[in-house]
A = this chain, B = another copy of it.
Amino acid sequence: MPELRIDPVRQRSVIIAVERARRPKDYQIPEEEKHLHVCPFCYGSEDRTPPEVFAIRPPGSAPDTSGWRVRVTPNKFPALRVEGELQREGVGLFDRMTGIGAHEVVIENPDHDRSLGDLSVEEIRDVLLAYRERIRDLRRDKRFRYILVFKNHRAAAGASISHSHSQIIATPVTPSVVIQELRAAQEHYLKKERCIFCDIIKQELAIGKRVVKADGNYMLWTPFASSFPFETWLFPMRHNHDFACLSEDDLLVLAQAMKDMLLRIKLTLNDPPYNFVLHTCPSLTPRPGKPHYWGTIENDYHWHLELVPRLTKIAGFEWGTGFYINPTPPEVAAEELRDIQIEL
């Protein structure tokens, strides 16, 4: 069972794989060797992943056979495990808990060589539908506090398999980044009865210089305090706290905005490695003895997507301070992303 440990001073959480400990030699596998094997995400390899938990496939076709358009399976080497009970324990000055959670892989399409931005708008909609269905399902498990959907594109951004896929991790605690975001949004709302994200949208539209595109449905922009060069955020322009309540029609509109975003990033930066993270509200299942921390969440939170191209390295300064150094102002990044010609 993996362990979730918390540093007593820094309050940083880490998931430690205590069973399958990687030794020094495990970090020295040459790049070529990693890619010799048959891709476990292509048609015909369905038995090389754990049984699927969701798929979009032809009516009547059996699970774990070819023919699917999108396929979600548990991660074969999960960071957190579904089986077991959530146990919390103090060890002297330290705190740990059992590494309960879920870790799933969304195989975005059968074609080994097409990345998410290369898919059609309808195909991207199907990927988003898989995200939505898995979030809805995982939220039913009362042990989970947050369902994180994210994507690592290319090895330099952390992808260990090149066939295009996203990941979903359900965590037994609300992650610190999410708590910070929820708290700031709630504080703003309690003071002003306005959503901070809606306020930002309005301000950015008025200023204009960081907006890449705004079509009434979505605003694509480079945030004022971008931590990384060409960091790009996609905000729904109408207030909505939860990605998981989007309809299939809504998802088609989002798919179009996402394809536009991914193509702009790809063309402007020569298909860079990137990560994106879906920011949506946490699981809101009431728990005995726990007050609803996020009481006004429907009003104060605003789901969105954050994308960071990986062009610079995180080094000692970032690690020691929590500060970032960004050599490209977001105003310049927005200009470059706006000027690129896109055909959807």
Known: A8-B196, A22-B328. A226 touches B176 (CB 8 A): no
Residues of B near A320 (CB, < 8 A) are: 148, 150, 175, 177-178, 275, 277, 279, 306
CB under 8 Å from chain B, chain A span 284-301: none
Known: A196-B9, A324-B13. A21 touches B329 (CB 8 A): yes
Contact B177 A223 (CB under 8 A): no
Known: A21-B328, A224-B94, A324-B12. A150 touches B277 (CB 8 A): no
Q: How far is the CA of A20 from the CA of B185 in the complex (A)?
A: 34
Contact B27 A229 (CB under 8 A): yes
Known: A9-B184, A22-B328. A308 touches B319 (CB 8 A): yes
Nearest neighbor of A307 in chain B, beta-carbon distance: B316
Q: Which of B7, B14, B326 contacts A14 (CB 8 A)?
A: B326
Residues of B near A277 (CB, < 8 A) are: 316, 319-320
Q: Which of B93, B148, B207 contacts A200 (CB 8 A)?
A: B93
Q: How far is the CA of A226 from the CA of B22 in the complex (A)?
A: 14
Known: A10-B184, A181-B10. A325 touches B79 (CB 8 A): yes
Additional pairs, 5, CB under 8 Å, beyond known A8-B196, A150-B319, A171-B321: A12-B227, A18-B329, A24-B230, A24-B269, A275-B320
A binding-site residues for B, Cβ under 8 Å: 5-18, 20-24, 26-28, 79, 91-94, 146, 148, 150-152, 156-159, 167, 169, 171, 175-178, 180-181, 184-185, 196-197, 199-200, 203, 207, 223-227, 229-230, 268-270, 272, 275-277, 279, 306, 308, 311-317, 319-330, 332, 336
